[in-house]
């Protein structure tokens, strides 16, 4: 089922300059800009700012959608629809400004059509900053998103009651429900794109539809659930076709040959894993990642981007990257270090890594990760903390890895403390992972008296680490030793 975590994984965005170029190249915004430059004093619009029907053929021709060199396969009706859509985007984004017909002396609207002038935003597409262009694109996305959740026009006309109100019940349309469903689908697609272990390729449409409908605890989907997934796929096929021209997604539509099976009353047969592309494939573009993140931020979600912490202090960096996937944490740290000289950065990182709170071990792990990226010029900062109970162990590791001379050997107590600290950090970062289990097994095998000494380590996480080792170790005898050591550690803390 769709999930909305309070904090989403960080996304690595393209630069604003690159995104702005992508936005200008999207077919729909490019058409909207072309129509805005084409419009003039003779352009006629209706009361809502829409092009009157008589103007649509000329607008379509301006866009190259009709005539001998027009788009293949477009009839006049489709060409007019594309032109109308592009014009609507031009109006909604401020590329054109609509002036309504003046009222007559008695206060009634004149029968004349409204007029059009160039909008203030049009110039920003060529002379504005990347942020200006992206702002216009986001406004265009809002228009397209709204259009994507509106039912077929013919159905809409049929559902209009005598008083001019839409009979939603007769139409079978829940505007807010459909908007929420599409938001959820795009949110899941975002998570599938930026999450740990996310695939670089497109997501199969059946998997995306199922992520919204199939309960997490359901084993084999029922026929009713499969039918709902089939219906959702057909609906999403239409939506993604609409969202692709604005550059939000790259979409391979459902194979037309499958439409009859999907439209039939029988549930859709199981997806053939060997030919899943026939059922539709979708991925967010770099511009799409930017757009969905912007919508999430507007909705109040915490949707971080790599680079958000680059101008913050080391304490914010270490705390902020604590929950990041490994790759995202590495990228964030690299951007933070790029703005600082190595020695000063190392000192700031080491200072921020201190502490006995629950999050301190993971801070020190991220500190080690950051220090692995600085050069030998940071050596003085590491030597300054050799006698520090919390940092001396990791400082010795860094100095040894960089081939430094005269590095004092650590005491046994420092070795055990660093071991507990490292396991506590990995538990916080990864939970009961296979890598951590392998580490636990290796420690127990290499040090026969490990648990006899480990319970005495004065570290806030000692008991929790030993309990975890007892839980993770496959050998029952060793696991029992770990649990006994954890009990002793808790007794000592009490």
To the nearest 10 degrees (0 to 180), the angle between helices 76-92 and 27-38 is 80
Residue 120 CB neighbours (<10 A): 10
| pLDDT value of residue 185 | 94
Residues 6+ apart with CB under 8 A from 410: 392, 393, 396, 418
| pLDDT value of residue 151 | 63
Q: What's the first-to-final CA gap in the chain, in angstroms? A: 43
| pLDDT value of residue 325 | 82
Continuous segment of H or E residues that includes residue 98: strand 96-99
| pLDDT value of residue 33 | 97
Residues 407 and 396 sit within 8 Å (Cβ to Cβ) = yes
Continuous segment of H or E residues that includes residue 12: none
| pLDDT value of residue 103 | 62
| pLDDT value of residue 170 | 54
Distance (Å, whole) CA 341 – CA 186: 40
Per-residue pLDDT of the chain (494 residues; tens, 9 = 90+): 344 455 688 999 999 999 999 999 999 999 999 999 999 888 999 888 999 999 999 999 999 988 665 555 578 888 999 999 999 999 999 999 998 876 654 544 445 578 899 999 999 999 999 999 999 999 999 999 998 877 655 544 454 555 556 555 555 557 788 889 999 999 999 998 987 666 567 899 999 999 999 887 777 878 888 889 888 999 999 999 999 999 999 999 988 877 665 555 555 555 555 577 888 999 999 999 999 999 999 999 989 999 999 999 999 999 999 888 888 889 999 999 999 999 999 999 999 999 999 999 999 999 999 999 999 999 999 999 999 999 999 999 999 999 999 999 999 999 999 999 999 998 988 887 888 888 888 888 887 788 898 999 999 999 999 999 999 888 899 889 999 999 999 988 76
Please give the distance of CA 6 from its chain centroid, rounded to a whole number: 13
The 3 state secondary structure assigned to 396-413 is HHHHHHCCCCCCCCCCHH
Would you list the DSSP string of 440-480? Answer: HHHHHHH-TTHHHHHTT---TTHHHHHHHHHHH-S-HHHHH
Distance (Å, whole) CA 94 – CA 98: 9
Residues 6+ apart with CB under 8 A from 490: 463
SS3 label, residue 301: coil
Distance (Å, whole) CA 204 – CA 278: 9
pTM: 0.80
Q: Give me the numbers of helices (H) and strands (E) for the chain, helices first please.
A: 24, 5
Residues 6+ apart with CB under 8 A from 198: 192
Distance (Å, whole) CA 461 – CA 426: 12
Instruction: State the residue for tokens 């986001």.
Output: 138
Continuous segment of H or E residues that includes residue 134: helix 130-148
| pLDDT value of residue 248 | 97
């Amino acid at each position: 089922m769709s999930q909305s975590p309070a904090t989403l994984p960080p996304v690595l965005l393209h630069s604003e300059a690159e995104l702005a170029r992508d936005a200008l190249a999207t077919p729909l915004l490019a058409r909207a800009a072309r129509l805005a430059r084409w419009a003039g004093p003779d352009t006629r619009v209706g009361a809502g700012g829409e092009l009157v029907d008589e103007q649509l053929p000329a607008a379509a021709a301006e866009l190259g959608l009709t005539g001998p060199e027009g788009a293949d396969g477009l009839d006049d009706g489709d060409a007019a629809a594309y032109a109308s859509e592009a014009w609507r985007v031009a109006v909604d984004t401020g590329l054109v400004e609509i002036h309504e017909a003046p009222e007559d002396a008695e206060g009634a609207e004149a029968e004349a059509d409204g007029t059009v002038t160039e909008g203030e935003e049009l110039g920003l597409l060529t002379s504005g900053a990347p942020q200006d262009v992206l702002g216009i694109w986001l406004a265009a996305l809002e228009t397209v998103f709204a259009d994507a959740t509106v039912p077929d026009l013919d159905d809409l006309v049929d559902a209009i009651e005598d008083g001019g109100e839409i009979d939603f019940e007769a139409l079978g349309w829940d505007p807010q429900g459909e908007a929420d469903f599409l938001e959820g689908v795009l949110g899941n697609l975002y998570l599938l794109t930026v999450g740990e272990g996310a695939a670089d390729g497109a997501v199969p449409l059946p998997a995306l539809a199922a992520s919204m409908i199939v309960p997490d605890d359901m084993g084999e989907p029922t026929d009713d659930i499969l039918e709902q997934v089939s219906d959702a796929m057909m609906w999403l096929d239409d939506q993604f076709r609409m969202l692709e021209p604005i550059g939000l997604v790259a979409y391979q539509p459902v194979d037309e040959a499958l439409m009859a099976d999907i439209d039939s009353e029988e549930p859709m047969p199981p997806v053939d894993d060997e030919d899943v592309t026939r059922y539709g494939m979708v991925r967010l573009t770099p511009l799409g990642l930017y757009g969905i993140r912007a919508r999430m931020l507007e909705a109040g979600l915490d949707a971080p981007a790599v680079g958000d912490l680059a101008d913050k202090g080391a304490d914010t960096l270490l705390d902020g990257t604590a929950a990041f996937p490994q790759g995202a944490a590495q990228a964030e740290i690299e951007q933070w270090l790029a703005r600082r000289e190595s020695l000063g950065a190392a000192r700031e990182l080491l200072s921020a890594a201190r502490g006995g709170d629950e999050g301190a071990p993971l801070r020190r792990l991220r500190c080690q990760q950051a220090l692995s990226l600085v050069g030998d010029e940071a050596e003085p900062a590491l030597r300054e903390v050799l006698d520090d109970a919390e940092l001396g162990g990791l400082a010795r590791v860094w100095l040894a890895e960089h081939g430094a001379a005269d590095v004092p050997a650590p005491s046994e107590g420092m070795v055990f403390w660093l071991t507990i600290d490292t396991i506590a950090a990995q538990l916080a970062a990864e939970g009961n992972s296979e890598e951590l289990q392998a580490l636990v097994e290796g420690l127990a095998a290499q040090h026969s008296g490990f648990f006899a000494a480990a319970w005495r380590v004065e570290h806030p996480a000692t008991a929790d680490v030993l309990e975890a080792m007892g839980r993770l170790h496959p050998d029952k005898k060793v696991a029992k030793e770990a649990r006994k050591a954890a009990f002793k550690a808790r007794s000592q803390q009490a």
